[in-house]
Amino acid sequence: MCSRKNIQMFRGEVSRGDRESLNAHRAAVFWFTGLSGSGKSTIAHGVEKRLFDRSMRAYVFDGDNVRHGLCGDLSFSPAARTENIRRIAEVCRLFIENGTVCMCAFISPLEKYRQMAREIVGEADFYEVFVSCSLEVCEERDEKGYYKLAREGKIKNYTGISAPYEIPENPDLIVETDKESLEESVARVEEFILAKVTS
Ligand SMILES: Nc1ncnc2c1ncn2[C@@H]1O[C@H](COP(=O)(O)OP(=O)(O)OP(=O)(O)O)[C@@H](O)[C@H]1O
Ligand SMILES: [Mg+2]
């Protein structure tokens, strides 16, 4: 977490707790990690819709979307990937103060990225969701056509092909999208989130 000397935080009259009471649920961050094509975006947006239909405040931060705006200036170098995650985690902290259930759909391939996000958000509000899917199945899906390009060497540093993916050691939830249907995965994540923010 970055704090600045000589800049004092202004405390408003409406607290996080006030907002959580109004929403009738707590705020938290659910950080989805997994290979490209594993299903992070599809599941997160599916759950978002279901939470919205329950009148809950939920929002998905999606890797591709933020790279158009907030992180549009960043490359895929190790330093830029770190900065990408740092910015998202800091935005999540603000959204948590706003009482929102945040779902973050980023490959976040290395343990150090996920650890940094956890530290910025704070242990108590952070849950890691491992969207597990074999590289073989992700490659078959090849949603974006990038695996093919990576195999041909036309995209460098592609996670799973020419850049590492570190399997999370201790995730809070695992969904296996090469073994269960989309509906099952969405239902399991929804149930997990409801247990953390409403019970
Ligand atoms: N159980 C499942 N859960 C999620 N997605 C599934 C499941 N079974 C099949 N799919 C399919 O897998 C694909 C997952 O693509 P998606 O864009 O969500 O991946 P992603 O992890 O967000 O990838 P990227 O990191 O490139 O953004 C979709 O076409 C989805 O319909
Ligand atoms: Mg995605």
Q: Tens digit of pLDDT for each residue in 150-178?
A: 999 999 989 999 999 999 999 999 999 99
Among 196, 155, 153, 150, smallest CA distance to 172 is for 196
DSSP 8-state secondary structure symbol assigned to residue 92: H
Measure the CA–CA gap between 190 and 158, rounded to whole angstroms: 30
The predicted structure's pLDDT at residue 33: 98
Q: Give the Cα separation of 35 and 142 in Å (integer).
A: 11
DSSP string, 48-106: HHHHHHTT--EEEEEHHHHTTTTTTT--SSHHHHHHHHHHHHHHHHHHHHTT-EEEEE-
* Angle of CA points 157, 40, 195, to nearest 5°: 140
**Residue 3: what pLDDT?**
65
Question: pLDDT digits over 83-92, tens only?
Answer: 999 999 999 9
**Residue with CA closest to ligand 1 atom 7:** 182
Question: What is the CA(35)–ligand 1 centre distance, in A?
Answer: 9
Distance CA 136, CA 140 (A): 6
The catalytic residue positions are 108
pLDDT at 9 exceeding the cut of 90? no
**Tens-digit pLDDT profile for residues 41-57:** 999 999 999 999 999 99
| CA 68/CA 127 separation, integer angstroms | 26
Residues, the chain: 199
Q: What is the pLDDT of residue 10?
A: 84
Domain spans of the chain?
34-197
* C-beta separation of 63 from 105 below 8 A: yes
Q: What's the 4 CA to ligand 2 centre distance in angstroms?
A: 33
34-197 in CATH: which number? 3.40.50.300
Distance between CA atoms of residues 5 and 8, nearest Å: 8
Which of 67, 81, 106, 143 to mutate for ligand 1's pocket (most ligand atoms within 8 Å of CB)?
143
